[in-house]
Protein backbone atom coordinates (compact mmCIF):
# COMPACT_ATOMS: atom_id res chain seq x y z
CA UNK A 1 0.00 0.00 0.00
CA UNK A 2 2.86 2.36 0.79
CA UNK A 3 4.36 1.85 -2.69
CA UNK A 4 1.00 2.54 -4.32
CA UNK A 5 0.56 5.71 -2.29
CA UNK A 6 4.14 6.78 -3.14
CA UNK A 7 3.50 6.35 -6.86
CA UNK A 8 0.31 8.37 -6.65
CA UNK A 9 2.02 11.05 -4.54
CA UNK A 10 4.56 11.67 -7.32
CA UNK A 11 1.73 12.73 -9.59
CA UNK A 12 2.11 9.73 -11.88
CA UNK A 13 -1.06 8.34 -13.46
CA UNK A 14 -0.74 4.77 -12.22
CA UNK A 15 -3.17 1.98 -13.01
CA UNK A 16 -3.02 -1.04 -10.78
CA UNK A 17 -4.54 -4.49 -10.81
CA UNK A 18 -4.82 -6.82 -7.85
CA UNK A 19 -4.55 -10.60 -8.34
CA UNK A 20 -5.65 -12.26 -5.14
CA UNK A 21 -4.83 -15.80 -4.09
CA UNK A 22 -3.90 -17.67 -0.90
CA UNK A 23 -1.38 -15.22 0.69
CA UNK A 24 -3.72 -12.30 0.07
CA UNK A 25 -6.63 -14.23 1.61
CA UNK A 26 -4.75 -14.28 4.92
CA UNK A 27 -4.25 -10.52 4.74
CA UNK A 28 -7.91 -9.98 3.84
CA UNK A 29 -9.03 -12.02 6.85
CA UNK A 30 -6.92 -9.73 9.00
CA UNK A 31 -8.48 -6.69 7.29
CA UNK A 32 -5.09 -5.50 6.02
CA UNK A 33 -5.50 -5.70 2.25
CA UNK A 34 -8.83 -4.04 1.43
CA UNK A 35 -7.26 -0.56 1.71
CA UNK A 36 -5.14 -1.28 -1.37
CA UNK A 37 -8.27 -1.86 -3.49
CA UNK A 38 -8.69 1.92 -3.83
CA UNK A 39 -5.72 1.84 -6.22
CA UNK A 40 -6.98 -1.15 -8.22
CA UNK A 41 -9.00 -0.96 -11.42
CA UNK A 42 -8.99 -4.73 -11.94
CA UNK A 43 -9.50 -7.25 -9.15
CA UNK A 44 -9.20 -10.90 -10.13
CA UNK A 45 -9.56 -13.55 -7.46
CA UNK A 46 -9.78 -17.29 -7.08
CA UNK A 47 -13.06 -17.42 -5.25
CA UNK A 48 -12.57 -20.44 -3.03
CA UNK A 49 -9.63 -18.74 -1.30
CA UNK A 50 -10.83 -15.14 -1.31
CA UNK A 51 -14.56 -15.69 -0.78
CA UNK A 52 -14.28 -16.61 2.89
CA UNK A 53 -11.91 -13.73 3.63
CA UNK A 54 -14.06 -11.14 1.87
CA UNK A 55 -17.23 -12.63 3.36
CA UNK A 56 -15.84 -11.88 6.81
CA UNK A 57 -14.73 -8.35 5.90
CA UNK A 58 -17.88 -7.47 3.90
CA UNK A 59 -20.33 -9.41 6.10
CA UNK A 60 -22.04 -11.49 3.40
CA UNK A 61 -21.66 -14.97 1.90
CA UNK A 62 -23.30 -14.18 -1.46
CA UNK A 63 -20.61 -14.05 -4.16
CA UNK A 64 -22.56 -11.59 -6.33
CA UNK A 65 -23.06 -9.28 -3.38
CA UNK A 66 -19.36 -9.55 -2.46
CA UNK A 67 -18.44 -8.62 -6.04
CA UNK A 68 -20.79 -5.62 -5.92
CA UNK A 69 -19.41 -4.46 -2.57
CA UNK A 70 -15.82 -4.73 -3.81
CA UNK A 71 -16.86 -2.90 -6.98
CA UNK A 72 -18.28 -0.05 -4.90
CA UNK A 73 -15.27 0.37 -2.59
CA UNK A 74 -13.61 3.80 -2.83
CA UNK A 75 -11.29 4.24 -5.82
CA UNK A 76 -8.59 6.88 -6.27
CA UNK A 77 -8.53 6.98 -10.08
CA UNK A 78 -12.06 7.86 -11.18
CA UNK A 79 -11.09 7.82 -14.88
CA UNK A 80 -11.28 4.05 -15.23
CA UNK A 81 -14.11 1.87 -14.00
CA UNK A 82 -13.16 -1.02 -11.73
CA UNK A 83 -13.69 -4.59 -12.98
CA UNK A 84 -14.12 -7.37 -10.41
CA UNK A 85 -13.76 -10.99 -11.55
CA UNK A 86 -14.14 -14.03 -9.30
CA UNK A 87 -13.36 -17.46 -10.73
CA UNK A 88 -14.84 -20.47 -8.95
CA UNK A 89 -13.24 -23.53 -10.51
CA UNK A 90 -15.97 -25.57 -12.23
CA UNK A 91 -18.67 -23.10 -11.17
CA UNK A 92 -19.62 -19.90 -12.98
CA UNK A 93 -17.23 -16.97 -13.09
CA UNK A 94 -18.79 -13.87 -11.52
CA UNK A 95 -17.87 -10.43 -12.83
CA UNK A 96 -18.98 -6.87 -12.14
CA UNK A 97 -18.57 -3.70 -14.10
CA UNK A 98 -20.52 -0.78 -12.70
CA UNK A 99 -23.75 -1.97 -11.11
CA UNK A 100 -24.04 -5.11 -13.24
CA UNK A 101 -23.17 -8.51 -11.79
CA UNK A 102 -22.97 -11.22 -14.42
CA UNK A 103 -22.30 -14.96 -14.16
CA UNK A 104 -20.45 -16.70 -16.98
CA UNK A 105 -20.54 -20.51 -17.23
CA UNK A 106 -17.15 -22.17 -17.61
CA UNK A 107 -16.42 -24.50 -20.50
CA UNK A 108 -17.66 -28.05 -20.05
CA UNK A 109 -14.94 -30.60 -19.50
CA UNK A 110 -15.01 -34.29 -18.67
CA UNK A 111 -13.40 -34.72 -15.23
CA UNK A 112 -11.19 -37.46 -16.72
CA UNK A 113 -9.63 -34.86 -19.06
CA UNK A 114 -8.32 -32.76 -16.16
CA UNK A 115 -4.61 -33.46 -15.77
CA UNK A 116 -3.25 -30.59 -13.62
CA UNK A 117 -5.04 -27.50 -12.27
CA UNK A 118 -1.84 -25.64 -11.33
CA UNK A 119 -1.70 -22.39 -13.23
CA UNK A 120 -5.36 -22.38 -14.25
CA UNK A 121 -6.05 -19.09 -12.46
CA UNK A 122 -3.01 -17.42 -13.95
CA UNK A 123 -3.95 -18.76 -17.40
CA UNK A 124 -7.44 -17.32 -16.92
CA UNK A 125 -6.01 -13.88 -16.10
CA UNK A 126 -3.65 -14.06 -19.09
CA UNK A 127 -6.47 -14.92 -21.46
CA UNK A 128 -8.72 -12.27 -19.91
CA UNK A 129 -6.07 -9.56 -20.19
CA UNK A 130 -5.18 -10.55 -23.78
CA UNK A 131 -8.66 -9.42 -24.79
CA UNK A 132 -8.99 -6.54 -22.32
CA UNK A 133 -5.92 -4.76 -23.72
CA UNK A 134 -7.64 -4.90 -27.12
CA UNK A 135 -10.68 -3.23 -25.51
CA UNK A 136 -12.91 -6.25 -26.16
CA UNK A 137 -16.22 -6.56 -24.28
CA UNK A 138 -16.23 -8.21 -20.86
CA UNK A 139 -17.90 -11.35 -22.24
CA UNK A 140 -15.06 -11.82 -24.76
CA UNK A 141 -12.44 -11.27 -22.03
CA UNK A 142 -14.09 -13.93 -19.85
CA UNK A 143 -14.37 -16.32 -22.82
CA UNK A 144 -10.63 -15.97 -23.49
CA UNK A 145 -9.87 -16.53 -19.81
CA UNK A 146 -12.03 -19.64 -19.72
CA UNK A 147 -10.39 -20.95 -22.89
CA UNK A 148 -6.86 -20.44 -21.52
CA UNK A 149 -7.69 -22.08 -18.18
CA UNK A 150 -9.41 -24.98 -19.97
CA UNK A 151 -6.32 -25.62 -22.09
CA UNK A 152 -3.96 -25.49 -19.10
CA UNK A 153 -5.89 -28.00 -16.98
CA UNK A 154 -5.77 -30.59 -19.78
CA UNK A 155 -1.94 -30.65 -19.75
CA UNK A 156 0.81 -31.46 -17.26
CA UNK A 157 2.42 -28.27 -16.00
CA UNK A 158 1.70 -24.81 -17.32
CA UNK A 159 2.04 -25.52 -21.03
CA UNK A 160 0.06 -24.61 -24.12
CA UNK A 161 -0.19 -26.49 -27.38
CA UNK A 162 2.06 -25.13 -30.10
CA UNK A 163 -0.87 -23.42 -31.80
CA UNK A 164 -3.81 -22.43 -29.57
CA UNK A 165 -7.21 -22.44 -31.23
CA UNK A 166 -9.03 -19.57 -29.49
CA UNK A 167 -11.42 -17.71 -31.78
Annotated active-site residue in 91, 92, 116, 122: 122
Looking at the structure of the chain, the number of domains it has is 2
Tens of pLDDT, residue by residue, the chain (167 residues): 333 443 444 443 344 445 555 554 454 545 555 556 666 666 666 656 566 666 666 777 788 888 888 888 787 777 878 888 888 888 999 998 888 899 999 999 999 999 998 888 889 989 999 999 899 999 999 999 999 999 999 999 877 777 777 77
Domain span holding position 43: 1-106
Do 86 and 118 lie in one domain? The reply is no
Do 113 and 100 lie in one domain? The reply is no
Q: Of 26, 27, 35, whose CA–CA distance to 5 is shortest? A: 35
Final residue in a domain of this structure, among 58, 83, 106: 106
Do 98 and 120 lie in one domain? The reply is no
Do 12 and 82 lie in one domain? The reply is yes
Q: Following DSSP, what letter does each residue of 29-43 receive, concatenated?
A: HTT-SGGGGGGEEEE
Q: Which residues contact 26 (CB under 8 A, 6 or more apart)?
A: 53
CA-to-CA separations, 66 to 21, 22, 35, 101, in angstroms, rounded: 16, 18, 16, 10
Do 18 and 79 lie in one domain? The reply is yes
**122 catalytic, yes or no?**
yes
Do 1 and 66 lie in one domain? The reply is yes
Q: Give the pTM.
A: 0.76
Do 87 and 115 lie in one domain? The reply is no
Amino acid sequence: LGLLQFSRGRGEARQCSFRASTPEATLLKEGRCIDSFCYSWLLSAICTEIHNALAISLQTQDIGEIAQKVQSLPKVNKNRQRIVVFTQGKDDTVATVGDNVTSFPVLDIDQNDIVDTNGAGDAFVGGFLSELVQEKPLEQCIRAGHYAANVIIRRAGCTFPEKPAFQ
